[in-house]
Amino acid sequence: MSSVIWYIYEFARKKWIKRFLDAKTDPEIAESPSRFRDFPQVQKELCISCGACVASCPSPGAIKLVRDDEMEMAYPVINESACIRCGFCVEVCPTEPKTLKTGENYLIKEEYRILPQETLYVIDDYLCIRCEKCIDACKVGAISSKDNIITIDQSKCVSCGDCIKTCPIKGAIKEVFITNIDEQKEIINLLVKSLEEAINLEVERVRKLPDYDPEKLIKLEFPLSKIMERALEILPDEEKVTKIVENITDRLKINVITWDEEKCKGCRLCIDECPTGALTYNEEKGVTERDPDKCLRCSICYQTCPFGVPGLYTARFLLRDGRILITLKPSQIRG
Amino acid sequence: MTYVPIGPIHPGIKEPLRIKLKTEGERVVAAEVDLGYFYRGVEQIAKGKPWQKVVYLSERVCGICSHFHPVTFIEGLEKIADCEPPLRAQYLRVIIGELNRIQSHLIANAIYFLAIEHETLAIYLLNVREKIMDLTEMITGNRVHYAWNIVGGVRMDIKESQKKKILENLDIVEPAVYRYRKMFKTGALLGLRSKDIGKMSKEDAIDVRAVGPTARGSGVKFDWRQKHPTFTDYFDFKPVWRKEGDNYARIMVRFDEILESIKMIRRAIDELPEGPIRKEYKIPEGSIDNRYEAPRGEVTYIFETAKNGIIGDITIRTPTIMNLEACVKHMFNDSPTIADAVAIYQSIDPCIACTERVTIVDEDGRKKDFRGMNNLRRMFTQGDER
């Protein structure tokens, strides 16, 4: 009995009970420090939808530009399950004041080149008509005109691509990927190889038509879907592959050499001229044969041959609606 | 002769790996270790990315030493660019780096004490560690992944009020560490389970290329901070070492390094020079082999940069791969009980997540032993013989 009295005496003390009633959390635990990097907060009204935050993010899929119909603008949305809270997007944001905020990172000014360059925007001075539309379109003031030459300041560029959209000349501003260089080379090699194969087959067919006119242009088509599957094995990004193909088709030029053995009289003039030894004389048939794997397409044999055995065609390309349009032109060089 | 397997999932070890112990009665005679449960392919992800993205990837190689991986990578980039960061940034890197080292050593010792079933001391150490974690959160904005280093310096400056808070917390941590160090030094039970267990001689340590506190506990007087310009020029750093070579020595080296680090942080705050904290760099093409002293030992980054700052081939080597080799080859071969084997394993402070760099498997998915030149040669020249 005495122990029960003791317990009541011990626990029913006024001071002891008061501690429970007035309990407060330690402010250090409840309040995060001023630098604490929480998930970035987005203020839609300041955004210029340049996409610098997306380009800078090291975590895939953590930040995306989502289009808002009401504001007619795209603004960043943060996926909290993928965000690693590095605060990089806040640091690169070019608006003043910043669209994104986290901790004290929004105080850091964008003085340094920390935005990773995956694409490089280059103005082709030869094609540029100096309309200066891109200068007005650029939201960060990276494009400037000096001595009538328009240049892009790479340290200010945020790779948003607005200049390409406004440019009236196709190919005057180019978007060049600087990552995945090895994969790009492989894709270009694949494209050139498959184009050449396709052209060779078609040229042989067209040349043997009865109403063939050697002065006429030959127009062909090559659907991009033929190589897409193999290209995606090299680089699994359909958008990138299309852009790489688009960039390369603008300036690609392929020389096609045809070989008509029926015309050959076996004079062997071309064999000594060939720089790689691609031409060999076949004694059984009495004609000269060409090895396309060794051939450089230099057209020396075409200029040497007095009987017109080799034919030289120049192919130019244009990408439109997922098809490559091919224009084959007989060469103007005469031997 | 019986074999006792430990792991891959086992309450005694924190991360998945398999240790196969060869025992005679209770006595452990030899051991084998089996890695390959944790491969993440960091190098493959890093290849072909711009350097700005790889800095944050390298931070995620290891969670405990999350300052040292990016700093090794960044210093390599700075060496390629042939430029030195501002002095204030170097001092700030020392402060955060040493805070990171303190918390890493505290948790390493705490896990060792859990392994020898001295939970009181373990929880004490974890409690002290919380003070250091608060400091890193206050300075950098996060407890674990700091995102604090960048090529050319650090991202944010330190404030006067923060300096004060660091000194305040260190005043709590230092006497506490002294107290726990004394408890470990004089406790009879702790000494019984630590002294003369898991012995490795200096020659063996050099032979298997042990690094970090594991090597320094065996009398190897080497620390990569001796060769680092910031530490040699402004801190006259001397490595902590002991000659016993047993579990006791390794734990004591870590305690002494904590005290050394506290001294260094105090000195850095006292002498913190004024000036900018960041410079701008352009990364040219080049290649580098850069090393740095992480809490567990030497971290190596060998990589090359292509045009426009794109990272080419990259190889990361973390300290645990050498220490694990040392542990298996020299420490396990005379441990009195199986319970001690777990304690020995924890005393080298293993970090399996950052060690798993490569696993070679054959066509059927079986793992292959690629250690040793003969095995490698057989694999690559004559095809599948075994």
Q: Is there a contact between B150 and A114 if contact means CB atoms under 8 Å apart?
A: yes
Task: Give yes or no for B191 touching A (CB within 8 A).
Answer: no
Whether residue B48 and residue A178 make contact (CB cut-off 8 A), yes or no, is no
The answer to whether the CB atoms of A86 and B145 lie below 8 A apart is yes
Claim to verify: residue A228 and residue A93 sit in the same structural domain: no
Average pLDDT of the residues in B283-300: 91
Please measure the distance between the N-terminal and C-terminal CA atoms of chain B and give it in whole angstroms: 26
Check whether residue A201 and residue A282 sit in a common domain: yes
Q: Please report residues of B whose CB lies closer than 8 A to that of A88.
A: 52, 56, 147
Of A20 and B342, more confident: B342
Task: Provide mean pLDDT across the span B112-134.
Answer: 92
Range(s) within chain B of domains with CATH label 1.10.645.10: 39-321
Q: Which of B50, B51, B152 sits opposite A112 (nearest CB)?
A: B152
Q: With respect to residue A35, please indicate whether it lies within any of the assigned structural domains.
A: no
Same domain flag for A155 and A212: no
Residue A6 near residue B110 (C-beta atoms within 8 A): no
Q: Which structure tokens are listed for A99?
A: 């669209």
Helix, strand, coil percentages, rounded to 5, for chain B = 50, 15, 35
Q: Does B353 touch chain A (CB under 8 A)?
A: no
Name the minimum distance, in Å, from the CA of A208 to any CA of chain B: 48
State the pLDDT at residue A239: 82
- Alpha-carbon gap, residue B210 to B212, rounded angstroms: 7
Lowest-confidence segment of B181-195, B220-234, B365-379 by average pLDDT:
B365-379
Q: Whose CA is closest to B291, among B212, B357, B362? A: B212
Mean pLDDT calculated for residue range A122-146 = 86
**CA–CA separation, B376 vs A15, rounded Å?**
75
Q: How far apart are CA B260 and CA B325, in angstroms?
A: 28
**Contact B52/A at CB under 8 A:** yes
Residue A145 lies in a domain: yes
What 3-state DSSP class applies to B209?
coil
Kindly state the tokens that stand for B9: 């999932």
Indicate if the pLDDT at residue A25 is higher than 60. yes
Residues B258-277, mean pLDDT to the nearest whole number: 93
Minimal Cβ distance to B52: which of A33, A104, A114: A114
Alpha helix segments (H runs only) across chain A: 2-11, 14-21, 27-30, 52-56, 88-92, 133-137, 162-166, 181-207, 225-234, 238-251, 269-273, 300-304
d(CA B6, CA B341) in angstroms, rounded, equals 10
Structure tokens at B254: 């870590």
Which residue, A162, A177, A192, sits at the end of a domain?
A177
Query: Which positions in chain A touch B310 (Cβ < 8 Å)?
Result: 178-179, 181
pLDDT tens for A269-312 read 888 888 888 888 888 888 888 888 888 888 888 888 888 888 88
Residue with tokens 């119909």, as numbered in its chain: A69
Interface touch B138/A114, C-beta < 8 Å = no
Q: What are the residues facing A186 on neighbouring strands?
A: none
* Phi, psi of A326, rounded to the nearest 5 degrees: -115, 130
Residue B361: the pLDDT is 67
Can you tell me whether residue B68 is helix, strand or coil? helix
Overall size of chain B counted in residues: 386
CATH at residue A77: 3.30.70.20
The mean pLDDT value for B110-116 works out to: 92
Contact A116, B283 (CB under 8 A): no
Cβ contact (<8 Å) for A105 and B137? no
Based on the fold, state whether residues A245 and A323 are members of the same structural domain: yes
The yes-or-no verdict on residue B339 having pLDDT over 80 is yes
How much is the pLDDT for B384?
Answer: 47
Say if the Cβ atoms of B145 and A113 lie within 8 Å.
Answer: no
pLDDT level of residue A335 (50, 70, 90 thresholds): very low
* Statement to judge: residues A73 and A187 lie in one domain: no
| pLDDT of B362 | 67
Band (pLDDT 50/70/90 cuts) for residue B89 is very high
Min Cα–Cα distance to chain A from B52, Å? 6
The residue whose two tokens read 């190098």 is B43
CB contact B150 to A (< 8 Å) = yes
Report chain B's mean pLDDT, rounded to a whole number: 87
Q: Residue B213 — very low, low, confident or very high, per pLDDT cuts 50/70/90?
A: very high
- Domain B39-321 indexed as CATH 1.10.645.10: yes
DSSP B50: B
| Inter-chain CB proximity B155 and A108 less than 8 Å | yes
- Residues of chain A found within 8 Å of residue B134, distances taken between Cβ atoms: 28
Residue in B51, B145, B307 nearest the CB of A84 = B145
Residues A86 and A139 in one domain: no
B307 lies within 8 A of chain A by CB = yes
Query: Left, alpha or beta for A87 (phi > 0: left; psi -120 to 50: alpha)?
Result: left
Phi, psi for B314 (deg, rounded to 5)? -140, 135
CA dist., res. B150 & res. B75, Å (int)? 9
- Measure the CA–CA gap between B185 and B252, rounded to whole angstroms: 8
Residue of B nearest to A154 (CA): B308
How many structural domains is chain A composed of? 3
Rounded-to-10 torsion of CA A44, A46, A50, A53: -70
Pair (A84, A206) in one structural domain: no
Which chain A residues touch B154 with a CB distance below 8 Å?
none
Are A218 and A256 part of one and the same domain? Answer: yes
Task: Tell me the pLDDT tens digit for each residue of A151-160.
Answer: 888 878 888 8
Q: Write down the pLDDT at residue B181.
A: 93
- Supply the pLDDT for residue A293: 83
Output the pLDDT for position B386: 40
Q: Residue A21: inside a domain, yes or no?
A: no
Residue A19 lies in a domain: no
Check CB contact under 8 Å for B52 and A178.
Answer: no
Q: Final residue of a domain: which of A160, A177, A194?
A: A177
Q: For residue A181, give the amino acid letter.
A: I
Taking an 8 Å cut-off on Cβ atoms, the answer to whether A117 and B308 are in contact is yes
- Asked, for residue A29, whether it belongs to a domain, the answer is no
Q: Which residue of A has its CA nearest to B307?
A: A178
Residues of A in contact with B147 (CB under 8 A): 37, 85-88
Give the integer Cα–Cα distance in Å for A50 and B108.
46
Name every residue in A having a CB less than 8 A away from some CB of B: 28, 33, 35-37, 56, 58-59, 84-88, 91, 103-105, 108, 111-118, 120, 178-183
Q: In this complex, which of B134, B142, B278 lies closest to A37 when CB atoms are compared?
A: B142
Domain annotation covers residue A142? yes
On the question of pLDDT at B382 being above 60, the answer is no
* Together in a domain, A90 and A202: no
Interatomic CA distance for residues A129 and A22, integer angstroms:
76
Nearest to B310 among A86, A105, A178 (CB): A178
Asked whether the predicted pLDDT for residue B377 surpasses 60, the reply is no
pLDDT per residue as tens digits for the range A183-210: 888 888 888 888 888 888 888 787 777 7
B53-58 average pLDDT score:
89
Does residue B322 contact residue B209 with C-beta atoms inside 8 Å? yes
Tokens 């996060």 label which residue? Answer: B142
Radius of gyration of chain B (CA): 21
Flag if A112 and B138 touch (Cβ within 8 Å).
Answer: no
Q: What is the rounded average pLDDT for all residues in chain A? A: 83
- Is any Cβ of chain A less than 8 angstroms from the Cβ of B154? no
Cβ contacts of B307 on chain A, cutoff 8 Å = 178
Q: Work out the average pLDDT over A123-143.
A: 86
Task: Give the residue from A85, A113, A156, A237 with the most B CB atoms within 10 Å of its CB, the best one to mutate.
Answer: A113
Of A51-60, B160-169, B218-227, B357-366, the least confident: B357-366
**pLDDT at residue B112 in the model:** 93
- A63, β-bridge pairs: A78
Would you state the structure tokens that stand for residue B126, as one six-digit string? 């974890």
Which chain B residues touch A181 with a CB distance below 8 Å? Answer: 48, 306, 310
Q: Which of A56, A59, A77 is nearest to A68 (CA)?
A: A77
pLDDT band, residue B261 (cuts 50/70/90): very high
Residue B155 at interface with chain A, using a CB cutoff of 8 Å: yes
B27 in A contact zone (CB under 8 Å): no
Closest of B186, B330, B337 to residue B248, by C-alpha? B186
Percentage with pLDDT > 70 across chain B: 92
Taking an 8 Å cut-off on Cβ atoms, the answer to whether B137 and A85 are in contact is: no
Nearest CA in chain B to A117: B50
Cα B77 to Cα B151: distance, rounded to the nearest angstrom? 7
pLDDT: which is higher, A322 or A334: A322
**How far are the Cα atoms of A50, A65, A165, B89, B361 from residue A136, in angstroms, in the given order?**
14, 22, 12, 39, 57
- Chain B positions touching A117 (Cβ under 8 A) are 50, 308-309
What is this model's ipTM?
Answer: 0.77
Q: Which structural domain range is residue A288 located in?
A: 181-330
Q: Would residue A20 count as lying in a domain? A: no
The Cα–Cα gap between B259 and B320 comes to 23
> For residue B20, is pLDDT > 70?
yes
Q: Residue A85: which of B142, B155, B280 has the nearest Cβ? A: B142
Q: What is the largest CA-CA distance in chain B?
A: 67
End-to-end, the C-alpha distance of chain A in Å comes to 127
Contact predicate A37/B156, CB 8 Å: no
Q: At B385, is the pLDDT very low, low, confident or very high (cuts 50, 70, 90)?
A: very low
Q: Given this model, what pLDDT does residue B381 score?
A: 57
pLDDT at B360: 64
Please report, rounded to a whole number, the percentage of residues in chain A having pLDDT higher than 70: 97
pLDDT, tens digit, 9 for 90 and up, residues A57-107? 888 889 988 888 777 788 889 999 999 888 888 888 888 888 888 888 878
Rounded Cα distance between A65 and A158, Å, is 14
Residues A315 and A245 in one domain: yes
What does the pLDDT average to over A3-26? 79
Bigger pLDDT: B354 or B252?
A: B252
pLDDT surpassing 60 at residue A334: no
Radius of gyration of chain A (CA): 34
CA distances from A125 to A155, B114, B293 (A): 20, 69, 51
Q: Collect all residues of chain B within an 8 Å Cβ-Cβ radius of residue A56.
A: 52
Q: At what angle do helices B87-115 and B247-270 cross, to 10 degrees?
A: 150
Considering the domain boundaries, does residue A84 fall inside one?
A: yes
